[in-house]
Structure 1
């Protein structure tokens, strides 16, 4: 059999949605759908799981780097349109059903969180939803001057999942509620401020990181050596916008307040004098909390508070149950239709307002559809 020419091999590799190579004993896994901001398909999730196991069992590999192709995004999240289409077709069960996508994604995220070798995530550009699920599992999370981080799920009738009820719990409760409920867009320095990044560097610094990787020595503390490769000497320590607005976040996102009460608090505060930046924040926050799915805002608030007392595995199990209810009997399909399919930006939420959301409905979403031993993620964390 004739060998495949090198140029043909390169072309085949370029067509793959996930690329893999090893540089100086460090595995580099690249999400390679730049036109879709590297959004995760089910096939990509499965491929990532295979590659992760390959890295785990290869004694010649000392660390793993996750990156996105192109300068615009690390990963914009899961392929929501594909999930929507499966939901419309009532294709929940089976290997290619929408439920299996979430099961496989959560298993991958859990494996990354518990990975024994140092893991670096380059959160360059857009990093949202499923991208955060991958990135927040890393032992070194590198944001950049181009980073745009968000968990915008409530906007489309879902909750911040992929472990968000766990990783947002590492933040002060008010900040966790603000980020999780509003889907606020955070810069690299904002992410550093609230604990969603370990470092922030100029975006162009990452363009040449492989040369630094080639020169690195792995004789001592591998994690410390990786930090030198990706962070020193150009760590950006400038204070982000979020740091200056933290007092407002703390004032309004009190854990004792239901979302309906947070809205009332924001409206009352707008009656007072504020700087331009403060007023803009109040208006944008109010806009989000009065236009996103009322049910999922209240469910998300409760899930974020519960997650603070749960293990990582318990959080994934809770999230899977909520996601299933949101897709089958909640606002997800309507949210995706309004914002991503028809794009009329006029979702018809049910119920339409926060005041109509009943406590019993919130508790229903958070009640597991499975008995403990029958949960699809029952073995997680064992």
Structure 2
């Protein structure tokens, strides 16, 4: 009796002189497992020192075939199971994922992300450090972690805090989903492409005689949409509200502001973990003054605390994942339940490293 071959969740191949990575877990919207993180990392390290490979391009597989989805984030069901079981692979996951995020940001060759469809959480982590971030009319970008009692990790503090004005605080706290043109206007994408051109672009990567990595980038740019309507954002209002010193002040200002934007924003915040709203506001503001390596080390400290300050089912993150992805009742029992009940003493421990500097799991990042 023949065995069904195990489906590879990451397909790596060299086409012509381009290293090509396909995330191939479409039923899970290409959510990252520890094995996928290891496969992507291994390919990038091998190609970094391979003079034949001039550039790297990464895409996702959709349910109907290539493209249509990039990566919905980390495998949160695994987080839930591992946290309840005390599985040490949970620690390995975050250490290796953040090291991969650093590798993408610091990669010495062009790294091109084809960000079609859903690009959230961990998907942002493997795309925001790209030298060329290509979005389409189907792109949906977000860092929605406050909705599961987590924070925008994978370098989220670093790249959100570098958005114009106070957009970083706004996106980090609300988890607002951006379309392709919105991502362009916020500095989270470099080029817009019609999704119908992606397959042709991918096919020509292996057939074009590139002489340099820069030529690969230029070739991709040849396929971009030059003219599009930029999204007009209420930037003055976002800056006014999200520059306020506390979550309580932000919520009060939104409640006192007339209009749809303030009402919708307040409604989003009211669904998020009150504790993590306070943590994320502090995270984004700290990260604004940090380099990438230090921001990732901070996030590694924070994510350990998310699962260990209140272990097991008492973890705010475990409860948030339970409500969204396990029981799917969409009624998380946040603790505390209200923004005004969060104290500074609850927030401060997230920013204390559980490791001495010489023993930090990401001590080698520079």
Structure 2 residue 75 is the aligned partner of structure 1 residue 79: yes
Matched-pair contact (CA < 8 Å) for 1:76–1:128: yes
Structure 2 residue runs without a partner (length 5+): none
Map 1:112-131 → 2, pairs under 5 A: 112-131=104-123
Which one of the candidate residues 261, 277, 287 is aligned to 2:249? 261
Asked if 1 retains the 8 angstrom alpha-carbon contact of 2:254 and 2:266, the reply is: yes
Decide which of 28, 35, 47 is 1:36's aligned counterpart. Answer: 28
Match of 1:101 among 93, 103, 108: 93
Query: CA offsets, 1:325-364, max 9 Å, x none?
Result: 1122241011011111111111111111111111122111
The answer to whether structure 1 residue 25 and structure 2 residue 21 are counterparts is no
Q: Is the 8 A contact 2:26 2:61 kept in 1?
A: yes
TM-score (norm: length of structure 1): 0.89
For structure 1, list consecutive stretches of 5 or more residues without a partner in the other structure.
1-7
Q: How many residues align?
A: 355
The whole-number CA distance in structure 2 between the counterparts of 1:323 and 1:188 is 29
Counterpart position of 1:249: 238
Which residue matches 2:221?
231
Give the root-mean-square deviation of aligned CA atoms. Answer: 1.7
SS at match of 2:70: strand
Task: Tell me the equivalent position of 1:365.
Answer: 350
Name the structure 2 match of 1:47: 39
Partner of 1:5: none
Q: Secondary structure at the match of 1:185?
A: coil
Q: Which moved more, 1:204-213 or 1:259-268?
A: 204-213
Q: Is 1:146 aligned to 2:146, yes or no?
A: no
What do the CA deviations read for 1:95-149 (whole angstroms, capped 9, x no partner)? Answer: xx20110001011111111111110011110000000000011100101111000
1:215 offset after TM fit, Å? 5.0
Equivalents in 1 of 2:223, 2:103: separation in Å? 31
Matched residue, 2:273? 293
Give the alignment's TM-score, normalised by structure 2: 0.93
Superposition map of 1:181-260 within 5 A: 181-219=173-211, 222-223=213-214, 225-241=215-231, 243-254=232-243, 256-260=244-248
- Whether the 8 Å contact between 1:38 and 1:68 is mirrored in structure 2 is yes
More helix as a share of residues: 1
**Contact 1:190-1:239 at 8 Å conserved across structures:** no
Quote how far apart the aligned CAs of 1:31 are. 0.5
Distance in 2 between residues matched to 1:282 and 1:229, nearest whole Å: 42
